[in-house]
Amino acid sequence: MAFPDTRLRRLRYNKIVRHMVTETHLRVEDLVYPLFVCPGTGVKNPISSMPGNYQMSVDVLVEECKRAVLKGVKSVLLFGIPEHKDEHGHVACQSDGIVQKAIRAIKAEVDDILIIADVCNCEYTTHGHCGTIIDNDVDNDSTLKTLADQSVSLAEAGADVIAPSDMMDGRVLRIREALDLAGYEKIPIMSYAAKYASGFYGPFREAAESAPQFGDRSTYQMNPANSDEAMREIAADIEEGADIVMVKPALSYLDIIYRTKHEFEMPTAAYNVSGEFSMVKAAGEKDWIDEKRVMMEVLLSIKRAGADIIITYHALDAADILNGQK
């Protein structure tokens, strides 16, 4: 049927009807809050390019986790800033590593929280790349051992989910094998399955102190022009044992999120990354946009595209709105 018999505006006049026919619903439970942990006590260093975000010592981080849980945000993603770095990222595998300490402290003091541990080497290497350097490039196969060792160490500390973000070929299989061998067969893997070599990561590299000291990451992160390649990456991670697959970034890659969900029908995460966050914050501070409205529209678009899980620095502000507090 066509106009005038069909008038689509009929379902828009009444607010209750509009809510009744809403197709996509964003929930607090969908959100994951990324956090940065650093050495020291009582440390809360502002991240200048990410307003409202901080590098926090373990004691401060624990209190932030308590605040998140009170708002209904019960999932956090941890990144570490170590006191010392090395050529291979071995510091990330130590039982007394900065993230391992944070996990134990959170588990001891915060109930009903899910801790997702990022697994990568870029924050822990002196050169800032995501693995061991051989012949001026990241060597894929030698990096796999470090990633597997790091994953087991994080699981031993109490991590609930392991999330490898390095983009090495074969990492999910190697990590799955290592976790199972160590008795952690119940720990799921959330792989950064389609992670693009994006310009949107700039503020994160300040936050995690992880900028590469030479070159870039285009030999292991994906070309932003490629979509079919992303499907191959995701299929490979699923075959290797990934339980959740992630697309990163989110906002410029909504088509990838859509394809991922519809082609694989797997639990799908999307990372609303630092540059996406900071653009909204900067425009909001200049009163160029309604910051809260745009924030919620961004998150809703990611959910509408197919994401079941949204990792976002907006998590607590969005939770306030979803909880009816702002």
The 10s digit of each residue's pLDDT in 148-188 is: 999 999 999 999 999 999 889 999 999 999 999 999 999 99
- Residue 122 to residues 14, 67, 130, 247, Cα–Cα distance (Å): 52, 28, 4, 19
Angstrom distance (rounded) from CA 151 to CA 246: 17
Span 279-287, average pLDDT? 97
Span 18-30, average pLDDT? 96
Confidence of residue 216 (pLDDT cuts 50, 70, 90): low
CB neighbourhood size of 7 (10 A): 10
CB 237 within 8 A of CB 260: no
pLDDT(6) > 80: yes
What share of the chain in percent tops pLDDT 70?
96
Alpha-carbon radius of gyration of the chain: 20
Angstrom distance (rounded) from CA 287 to CA 296: 16
242-280: pLDDT as tens digits? 999 999 999 999 999 999 999 999 999 999 999 999 999
Span 296-312, average pLDDT? 98
Q: Mind giving me the DSSP string for 261-284?
A: HHHH---EEEEE-HHHHHHHHHHH
- Position 218 scores a pLDDT of 72
Catalytic residues: 195, 248
Q: Is 125 helix (H, G, I), strand (E, B) or coil?
A: strand
Angstrom distance (rounded) from CA 30 to CA 269: 9
pLDDT(209) > 70: no
- Position 129 scores a pLDDT of 66
pLDDT(214) > 60: no
Confidence of residue 212 (pLDDT cuts 50, 70, 90): low
Map out the domains of the chain with their CATH numbers. Answer: 25-325 (3.20.20.70)
Q: Whole-prediction pTM value?
A: 0.95
